[in-house]
Amino acid sequence: MASYIILSTLTDEGRKTIKEKPDRILEVNKELEKMGVKVKEQFAVLGPYDFVNIVEAPDNDTVMKKRG
């Protein structure tokens, strides 16, 4: 499997959800696994992005699938 780095930002609604229900992050990771993307590491960061995720996926198409 190939490794990928994903930079992501939260919407205002996403921030509210994470604040009220922090376990939502783990639920999203499980949803990604069902799509063939395994989250190896995940970091909350400061600056223009909210998260840096290191994931594994079998190919570019799998990791680029639209989520949500």
Counted domains in the chain: 1
Residue pair 56/1 in contact by the 8 Å Cβ criterion: yes
pTM of the model: 0.83
The residue among 25, 33, 42 whose CA lies nearest residue 65 is 33
Residue 27: give the domain boundaries.
Answer: 2-64
Q: What is the pLDDT of residues 19-44, one digit of tens each?
A: 999 999 999 999 999 999 999 999 99
The CATH number covering residue 27 comes to 3.30.70
